[in-house]
Every structure is written in structure tokens, then in C-alpha cells.
Structure 1
Amino acid sequence: MGETIVLPAQSPRRTELEALGWAVIARSFGAQLDAERIDEQRLRALVVGAPGSVRALAAADVDAVLALDRATIGDYPGSVATQHEPLDRDGATPSAARRAFGAFRTDAGLVAMTFVSVDGAEAETDFTVVDRAQRGRGLGVAVKAASVLELSAAGVTRFRTGGSADNAAIQRANDALGYVRDEEWVTLGRVGG
């Protein structure tokens, strides 16, 4: 990939760069959910309504996490702003500062997961992914809902997430959870050379 620059969509620098021959090659977004807007009943229904079981991931799940990560590494739309780096064993191991939640199907093992960085009362979703064969069944929204429920019960009051503007599934999941989009970003690339 050639040189890229990521900017807020409304940045005056964007106009300057576009006049110099740069073009938008990807769009991304950020969104927030504050504790007072959490609809716990709705989120619990999303978790319970997912096929299989949804729970927090632990160190014992690392091999399953790595397998799902390998199987889905090419499935992240967008550009540099929304890239997902392959996990190693350390990155796949949940901790107090990096929580993880997964959905399991008895016939397929771990089929969806989300990882969330936690810093005091704030949490930021690092990534959410669902196995290709399992998409469209509410698993992505279920693991994100489980993360919000468990972390809010532990004192997190502000949740952040984001992703590619081309990822309609994650946008629908965020909407279902009550996230409000509050940032738009563009990735610019040089046109022609």
C-alpha cells in the first residue's frame, strides 16, 4: 500500500491534500456509549437470543482465539485506520486491562469474539469478528453486548468503538447496543503516483 494519511473527515487539511491529488480511499468512524444510556434488558436479550453460549474468554481459550483470528484475518474492511494485526499468544490472552468475550457453538467451537481495552472507567473495543459461516446470526452483537454488560457492572461508564464505514454489520451491531457515532475519519491516498 502506498503512502496514506488518516484525518478527521472535516479537517481543513483534507481539502488541501485533495487539491494536491490525494483522494479518499477509505472511511472510518468512532462511536460512544455512556453508562446512563445502556438498556440492560435489551442487551441481555441480545446475549440470550444468540445461538450457542456467550461468555468472557480466559487464558484457557487462547488456542481457540488464535484459530478464529487466523481464519478471519483477511475479513477486516477498510484501510490503515481499521487494520487488524494478527494476534500472538500474548495478544490472544485476556487480562484485567484487555478483556475478551466469545460466542461458542457446540458444533463449531469459538465462532465470534470481541476484545476490549479497559482503562479505569473507560473501555475501547479493539476488534470484533465473527466466523464467516456464522455471520448474520446475532453473534457479533451478542459478544459486544456481553462486554458492555459485564464491564458496566464492574464500573466502566464510557464505552468507545469504531471501525470501517464499509462494515455495515458492525454499524448495525453498534446501533443495536445504543452507541452514538460521534467521529468520522477519512484515509487519503495519493492518486496516480
Structure 2
Amino acid sequence: MTADIEIVQLNDPRLQHLIEAGYVVVGESWGARLRLSEPPHRAVLTAAVVAATDQGFLIKELDDSWAPQVTALEAVNHADYPYTPATAVPQRDESEVLELWRSGYRLFGAIDAGQLVAVTVISLTTARAETEFTSVHPSYRRRGLAVAVKAASITALADDGVRIFGTGGAQVNAGSIRMNEHLGYAIEERWLSLAMPK
């Protein structure tokens, strides 16, 4: 992988010039938005959380006492994040995880018998709330936990008056795209990462 990476939107006129100059695509990513109505329709969000609680999971906002478990969960999952230059997820130690709370991020988790098995992290900008990352322990995947914790985060920020939410990821992560579309997100941006071959 070369350090000379250009990240451009699919409709950017520079794209054709870069390809003509010899750049090749090394990654594809996307950005999506959820725009809630006023008042928000919550049926899909509520159903996602209920589907998880009906399985016995506790879905709740996490305080910073959960930092060790968030750190451990991210360590287990780090290699599973699909990589593109535009969507790289850093490997965080516990002090960096604690910094998420100090920086005003909000974390929501799924808990099974006291063990954190899924987490999502959301931040608030002036324009919207943005999901930073969502992950589920390998043993608990395909049980609706990613959608449940994300739905819980959206509901909490909607209660605070937020109406626009953003998220994104690697194009190869079809499961993430389906999960976000289920919650009402629509892909509005597609990005290509390009590099000059060595």
C-alpha cells in the first residue's frame, strides 16, 4: 500500500483525470443519511431494540465504567473491520476508548449476563449525529444486535431533538449496508480510494 492515496466521490470530475494518470481503485466506501420526520416515526427503531431484548439482551447507554469491556470487544473485532483508506478503524487502547466519553461521544451496548457483546459509538456535530463505529462479538453476530444498539443510539439522540443522522463504511460490507437501510438510512455518497501502483 502506498501513502499516495486520493479519496474522491464517484461523481467528482477529478476521478477521470486520476484514472487517466494511472491511478487504480484500491477501495470503495459510502456515506448514508437518515432524516427523521417531525415528530419522528419510531416503530422500526423500537422494534429493533425489542427484538434484542426479547432474546434476553440488555440494550442500554454505556458510561465510562464500560471502557475495559469496550476495549476488549474492539480488540476481538479489529481484524474483522473491512479496510479501505477512507474507512480505516484505529486500534484503540483503554485510554483512547475513555477519550471517546471525554470527547462527548455516546456509546450504546448490548449486554448478555454482564458481558458487553455489541457496541455502537455516536457523535454529535452541528449538522448531524454521526455513527463512528458499530461492532458485535463474533459469537453474537446475525442476531440483530448491531441494528439494536444503533437503533438505541438514534432514539436517544432523537429524544434530544436530533433529526439528521450519518453513517458510512466499506462497500464490501454488505451486512452493514443492509442493516442501515433497514433503519431508514439512504446512501447519498459513494467514494473511491485510488492509489498509483508501485
In the superposition, the TM-score normalised over structure 2's length comes to 0.90
Matched residue, 1:27: 28
1:97·1:119 contact (CA, 8 Å) conserved in 2? no
> 1:162 aligns to what SS in structure 2?
strand
Question: What is the CA-CA distance between 1:66 and the residue it aligns to?
Answer: 0.5
1:8·1:184 contact (CA, 8 Å) conserved in 2? yes
1:6·1:185 contact (CA, 8 Å) conserved in 2? yes
Matched residue, 1:159: 165
Greater displacement, 45-54 / 171-180: 45-54
Matched residue, 1:42: 44
Q: In structure 2, do the counterparts of structure 1 residues 181 and 147 end up closer, same or farther at CA, with 3 Å as the change threshold? A: same
The code of the aligned residue for 1:12 comes to P
- Please list the CA deviations of residues 25-74 of structure 1 after superposition, one character each: whole Å capped at 9, or x if unmatched: 11101111112185312211101101311111111101100000111111
Matched residue, 1:178: 184
1:28·1:78 contact (CA, 8 Å) conserved in 2? no
Alpha-carbon distance between aligned partners in 2 of 1:104 and 1:148, rounded to the nearest angstrom: 18
Matched residue, 1:9: 10
What is the aligned counterpart of 1:149 among 137, 149, 155?
155
What is the aligned counterpart of 2:117 among 111, 115, 118?
111
Question: What is the CA-CA distance between 1:89 and the residue it aligns to?
Answer: 3.0
What is the aligned counterpart of 2:78 among 73, 81, 87?
73
| Unmatched tracts of structure 2, length 5 or more | none
Question: What is the CA-CA distance between 1:140 and the residue it aligns to?
Answer: 0.6
Question: What is the CA-CA distance between 1:81 and the residue it aligns to?
Answer: 0.5
Matched residue, 2:93: 88
1:27·1:78 contact (CA, 8 Å) conserved in 2? no
| Unmatched tracts of structure 1, length 5 or more | none
> 2:79 aligns to what SS in structure 1?
coil
What is the aligned counterpart of 2:138 among 132, 140, 147?
132
Matched residue, 1:61: 66
- Please list the CA deviations of residues 123-175 of structure 1 after superposition, one character each: whole Å capped at 9, or x if unmatched: 11111111112111111111110000011001112111001111111111111
Alpha-carbon distance between aligned partners in 2 of 1:105 and 1:168, rounded to the nearest angstrom: 26
Identity of aligned residues (%): 36
1:112·1:128 contact (CA, 8 Å) conserved in 2? yes
Q: Which runs of 4+ in 1 moved over 6 A?
A: none
Q: In structure 2, do the counterparts of structure 1 residues 157 and 29 end up closer, same or farther at CA, with 3 Å as the change threshold? A: same
| Matched length | 191
CA RMSD of aligned residues (A): 1.7
